[in-house]
Amino acid sequence: MTIIHNYFVYILECADKSYYVGITNDLEARLSQHNDGENVFAYTFSRRPVTLKYYQRFDQIEDAIDFEKQLKGWSRRKKEALFKEDWNEIVRLSNYKNK
């Protein structure tokens, strides 16, 4: 019997317009934790409220971790192209450093 796991890589837009990339196995609960300010040391604590801009589900934690690391290295413009699912722009921006 195959056990299906749910892991989510997500991007939040904070009140200061910055983006936060994270990973969780319960997206709804994690979003509530960010907005409730459960961790005073969290990046999002002083930047609430946060809004979910993007998420992708994975079956394997390793794949989710790899994608989270990849997104953390992306520029703001590239993340915004992802929100729009503008694959041509993502490819174009991939060819330029710091875009």
Q: Tell me which of 95 and 52 has the higher pLDDT.
A: 52
- Mean per-residue pLDDT, 84-99: 85
Q: Residue 36 maps to which CATH number? A: 3.40.1440.10
Number of domains in the chain: 1
Q: Which domain holds residue 64?
A: 7-74
- Mean per-residue pLDDT, 20-42: 96
What is the pTM for the complete model shown?
A: 0.90
Q: Can you spell out the DSSP letters for 31-52?
A: HHHHHHT--TTSTTGGG-S-EE
Of 64, 73, 7, 15, give the one whose Cα is nearest residue 44.
15
Of 41, 38, 44, give the one whose Cα is nearest residue 19.
44
